[in-house]
Amino acid sequence: MKLLTHNMMQSHVKGISRRFPLLIKPETVRVVEQEFNPDFVRRMLGRIEYEALQQAMTWLGHEGKLPKDCPSEDENNEDILKAIHHALLEVEMVEGKLVCPESGREFPVKNGIPNMLLNEDEV
Amino acid sequence: MRPEHTAPPEVFYNTDEAKKYSRNTRIMEIQATMSERAIEMLCLPEDQPSFILDIGCGSGLSGECLSEQGHHWVGMDISEAMLDVAVSERETDGDVQLADMGQGIHYRAGVFDGAISISAVQWLCNADKKGHSPPKRLYQFFKTLYSSLRHGARAVLQLYPETPDQMELIMYQATRAGFSGGVVVDYPNSAKAKKYYLCLFAGIQQGQAQVPAGLTDEMDTATNTDRMRTKDFRSAGGVKNATRKQKVIARKERHLRKGKTTKHSENTKYTGRQRRPKF
């Protein structure tokens, strides 16, 4: 699971108010190189929650490369864009858990696929 | 028999069924055509990579079409076996997740530039568990889908409705959740190629906001035997008033279809003509 996906996800358990961000408890993490597309990264800058992305990188043990503040959407510095591209698309959690920030419900991640199925009483 | 009647989707799409989606070229071809048509109807801005949600992504066939056009996507599906094919065999670019669309789309508000779904939404019309209520699940699905889309984005959902009532229920719940738009029917005159798409708009559209016109294919009724069954032919008197030539051609085609041989398989200007009288 890529961090771009994690950044867009929220918990959908019934009756809670704080749904984002899902906490990450990683077991296996890998880095897979992806094609760099500055347009896409710029487009996503307005959509991502930057603090949550920084937090997620710390959880996965890859902190340090990201700039401190979220760059604006017309950022042209390639190094900064590449650092964000790396965080969003290249660092992946293969095995581990996602945890709902309020209810503490755990969603297991196997082979890179999070299991987001709820029980009938949680819908 | 429709697959929806046999078992719930997570049971029906087992390892054997999932294999078909990576081996069977006919299934793959149909899925790819429908995906391309759905992406076309999304009306995404050109030359700009978008972020798309694929609902019922299965083995990632539709996602592959999105990747080919340079878009990023995430998919969700309820069948573990299908997702395993997506990750292990197809190695899709997009992330996939095991989730039930009837429990809602678990994404933040306004993150997607569009959503597609190929042959999935009709499953929501079935109550597979004790607590399931199709209208409630449909509403939950459309409500959360609406909020996850950006303002002015589209959702194109290809589906196989079982009855007109089912289509009405789905459209009603979509409208209730705030969507506008309507149904697009491609190839309405063909039994096999006929496909239903729900083309839904989230919020006010930029520029053209019309539901796209369905595709038609004039060649559908072009064969001679089909023409003999059409309304025009029957109103002209049917087989009784058919010319000698039409009857001969129809009979020849009937024979060839059955695998019998005919003396002259090709039709020429002499087909069905009488010979000149002999003295």
Q: What is the CATH number of the domain that holds A95?
A: 2.20.25.10
Question: What ipTM does the predicted assembly reach?
Answer: 0.94
- Residue B29 maps to which CATH number? 3.40.50.150
Do B121 and B143 lie in one domain? The reply is yes
- The tens digit of pLDDT for each residue in B158-200 reads 999 999 999 999 999 999 999 999 999 999 988 888 999 999 9
Same domain, B111 and B227: no
- Give the contacts of B199 (CB within 8 A, at least 6 positions apart): B41, B154, B156, B181, B182, B183, B184, B211, B212
Enclosing domain of residue A16: 3-122
| Statement to judge: residues B142 and B60 lie in one domain | yes
- Closest CA relative to residue B50, chosen from B70, B35, B64, B34: B70
B242 interfacial to chain A (CB closer than 8 Å): no
Q: Which of B199, B218, B237 is the last residue of a domain?
A: B218
Do B135 and B22 fall into the same domain? yes
Domain boundary among B218, B240, B269: B218
CB contact under 8 A, A113 and B96: yes
Whether residue A10 and residue B107 make contact (CB cut-off 8 A), yes or no, is: yes
Q: Which domain holds residue B98?
A: 3-218
Domain count, chain B: 2
Per-residue pLDDT of chain A (123 residues; tens, 9 = 90+): 999 999 999 999 999 999 999 999 999 999 999 999 999 999 999 999 999 999 999 999 987 678 888 888 888 899 999 999 999 999 999 999 999 999 999 999 999 999 999 998 888
Give the mutation candidate from A5, A14, A93 for the B interface (greatest B CB count, under 10 A): A5
**Number of folded domains that form chain A:** 1
Cross-chain Cβ contact B100/A118 below 8 Å: yes
Specify whether B114 is located in the same domain as B165: yes
- Distance from A49 to chain B by nearest Cα, in Å? 10
Q: Which candidate in B44, B79, B103, B139 is best for mutational testing of the A interface (most A CBs within 10 A)?
A: B103
Whether B69 and B195 map to the same domain: the answer is yes
First to last CA, chain B: 63
- Boundary-marking domain end, from B194, B218, B242: B218
Residues of B in contact with A40 (CB under 8 A): 49, 72
